Amino acid sequence: MSRREEIETNLAAVRERIARACADAGRDPGAVTLIVVTKFHPVSDLGHLVDLGVTDIGENRDQEAGAKIAELDPATRAALTVHFVGQLQTNKARHVVRYADVVQSVDRAKLVGALDRAVAARAEAPHEVVEGVAEPPQKLAVLLQVDLGEGEDAGRGGILPADLMALADQVELTEHLTLKGLMAVAPFGLGEAGTTAAFGRLTDLGARVRDTHPDATVLSAGMSGDLEIAIRSGATHLRVGTAILGSRPDPR
């Protein structure tokens, strides 16, 4: 089986899982966006994904992501929305905004400021934009990553729920960022009931944020192992890597 055929088979299986989960939850599968996480996988895989109708990819390592996106031909790049989904250091903000259309992992005030300044600098120095990227928008779409850990459960990054509204308000005060919603990763080892409860907390937090920020409609949750639970909980975006592209190659 060729690499394209392997990806096509896996992608079809994931799309079928999404369709079944949406049917079970009484949701329209067209309202759920699949983001294929391409970390450690070669740029050739991105070409296969675009050919197979994928419109959104996710990367979480800045150095790898920037180099990979720069290799794409203009038509392939134009067909993709690139989501940065990994933890982000403030000193990497200026580089990330050169290729990312969405940053999903905003989790602190300093990062909000760094991204806002980076987008402003990008507008003033368009020659710095990575080759192949279309004219960048004036604003960068961002999601706030929320820590869903509770009690002794180990969280997997993000802002504490108690601090979420203040961070949302800060994003809205910036000139160059647009708040689109929330992102979270379920804590390890919770089982189905615990993961359902964790994603339920995200759903509730999303509703709270929308009370004052009505355009923040995105809930990015669910990966290869828990996408059905995420769909039942109202996720609008799924981040799936292994189930489509297989185990990540050894980066060494």
- The mean pLDDT of 203-230, rounded to a whole number, is 98
Mean of pLDDT values over 157-161: 92
pLDDT exceeds cutoff 70 at 156: no
pTM (predicted TM-score): 0.94
Each domain of the chain, given as residue ranges in start order, spans 3-245
- List, for residues 99-135, the tens digit of each pLDDT value: 999 999 999 999 999 999 999 998 777 555 544 455 6
pLDDT at 144: 98
- How is the chain classified by DSSP, letter by letter? --HHHHHHHHHHHHHHHHHHHHHHHT--GGG-EEEEE-TTS-HHHHHHHHHTT--EEEE--HHHHHHHHHHS-HHHHHT-EEEE-S---GGGHHHHTTT-SEEEEE-SHHHHHHHHHHHHHHHH-GGGSPTTPPPPPSSEEEEEEB----TTSPP-SSB-GGGHHHHHHHHHH-SSEEEEEEE--PPTT-HHHHHHHHHHHHHHHHHHHHHH-TT--EEE---TTTHHHHHHTT-SEEEE-HHHH-SPPP--
Asked if the model's pLDDT at residue 250 lies above 70, the reply is no
Q: What CATH homologous superfamily does 3-245 map to?
A: Alanine racemase (3.20.20.10)
Which pLDDT does position 190 carry in this prediction? 85
